[in-house]
Amino acid sequence: MKGPGIFLAQFMGDAAPFNTLESICKWAASLGFSGVQIPSWDPRCIDLQKAAESKTYADEIKGIVQSAGLEITELSTHLQGQLVAVNPAYDLLFDGFAPDAVKGNPNARTEWAIQQLKYAAKASQNLGLNAHATFSGALLWQTVYPWPQRPAGLVETGFTELGKRWLPILNVFDENGVDLCYEIHPGEDLHDGITYEMFLEKVGNHKRACLLYDPSHFVLQCLNYKDFIDFYHERIKMFHVKDAEFNPTGKQGVYGGYQGWTNRAGRFRSLGDGQVDFKAIFSKLAQYNYTGWAVMEWECALKHPELGAAEGAPFIKQNIIQVTSKTFDDFAGASQDDAFNKKLLGL
């Protein structure tokens, strides 16, 4: 496992050192991070189309990061991926993620988002990356708690359309040798293991339809995030190290009572301040030989982001397990002797 990395999306801002890729990388390096995950929608970090179309420009971006002593862990298209599939109920809200040229035009917005993902595949290849982070988007999320009840065939139709939109994108990622990793997340049609499997069926179990594992979203769903690794470890190619807590009361539970993050029963926390059992997670990922990056994502409801970042790098370092190359009782072993083994068995 490589790390620690840091996702830059929540830290970019208008004031130094958070306003340019060069300065924020130097800041991240000063805290002990060794990699940065880059939000591809932020022009202060990268011009995604240019990175796809110009290897020279991609090398320049890579050089800026490397000059700070860091590596690019992955690119992210969370916002663009969201726009690949948007139910009309969310059109106005999600138009905020789109450029002015396609706002108010859902079809044009979808085509723009699809092209963005295709740029991301080529840009990732130009940057020498092998994994990419995104969201699936959602056509069905407003029906997640079915009242009124869902019409027969609605879910099947929704996932068929979702697969139809993503399959050409997955093929482009395959052509570029990059795994497309969906962050399993409430608000997306891919929000748990069952919905991920439904999607896989629609894209023919595409080998590039992989996973970004983030346990914080499973804590808030009361889903067993440890078992999830056992089920899907072969598909987990990215890892967001993010903490969370769920403290239901007699007044609110999973749905949060329309409260802001600070007052919700379930809320994100800085690393070590929540309920996620990271020792078990890092152990399982080591057991299954996860070789990708461990990337901190900060979204704490309480702690200042710069303090969360400062604490995050050593937290990840302390939890990464260097996998052993020998068994602890090797010293007491003996070379294989088939005749001796048969004798022991009375054969």
- Taking a C-beta distance cutoff of 8 angstroms, is the pair 292, 131 a contact? yes
Q: Is the pLDDT of residue 126 over 90?
A: yes
Q: Please tell me the predicted confidence (pLDDT) of residue 226.
A: 98
The tokens describing 7, both together, are 């996702």
Pick from 311, 141, 323, 321: nearest CA to 242 = 311
Residue type at position 13: G
Q: Which domains does the chain have, with CATH numbers?
A: 2-344 (3.20.20.150)
Range of 253-262, 321-330, 332-341 with top mean pLDDT:
253-262
- pTM recorded for the entire structure: 0.96
- Return the residue matching tokens 């993010």: 242
- Taking a C-beta distance cutoff of 8 angstroms, is the pair 99, 48 a contact? no
Question: Helix crossing, 278-287 with 305-319: angle to 10°?
Answer: 50
Q: Please tell me the predicted confidence (pLDDT) of residue 89.
A: 96
The dihedral through the CA atoms of 297, 70, 121, 290 has a sign that is: negative
The dihedral through the CA atoms of 145, 134, 180, 163 has a sign that is: positive
Distances (CA, A) of 335 to 247, 344, 345: 54, 15, 17
Q: Round the CA-based radius of gyration of the chain to a whole number and report it.
A: 22
Question: Helix crossing, 21-30 with 55-67: angle to 10°?
Answer: 30
Q: Please tell me the predicted confidence (pLDDT) of residue 328.
A: 80
The tokens describing 179, both together, are 């795994």
64-100, pLDDT tens digit by residue? 999 999 999 999 999 999 999 999 999 999 999 999 9
Q: How confident is the model at residue 23 (pLDDT cuts 50, 70, 90)?
A: very high
Q: Please tell me the predicted confidence (pLDDT) of residue 324.
A: 82
Helix (H, G, I), strand (E, B), or coil: what is residue 253? coil
Mean of all residue pLDDT scores within the chain:
97
DSSP line for 63-76: HHHHHTT-EEEEEE
- Residues 293 and 1: their CA atoms lie apart, in Å, by 6
- The terminus-to-terminus CA distance of the chain in angstroms comes to 45
Q: Please tell me the predicted confidence (pLDDT) of residue 223.
A: 98
Q: Where are the beta strands (DSSP E) in 68-157?
A: 71-77, 131-134
- Residues 184 and 198: their CA atoms lie apart, in Å, by 13
**Beta-ladder partners of 37:** 7
- Residues 345 and 347: their CA atoms lie apart, in Å, by 5
226-270, pLDDT tens digit by residue? 999 999 999 999 999 999 999 999 999 999 999 999 999 999 999
Burial 205-223 (b: 16+ CB within 10 A, else e): ebebbbbbbbbbbbbbbee
- Residues 221 and 255: their CA atoms lie apart, in Å, by 9
Distances (CA, A) of 330 to 184, 264, 319, 344: 40, 51, 25, 20
The tokens describing 53, both together, are 């179309």
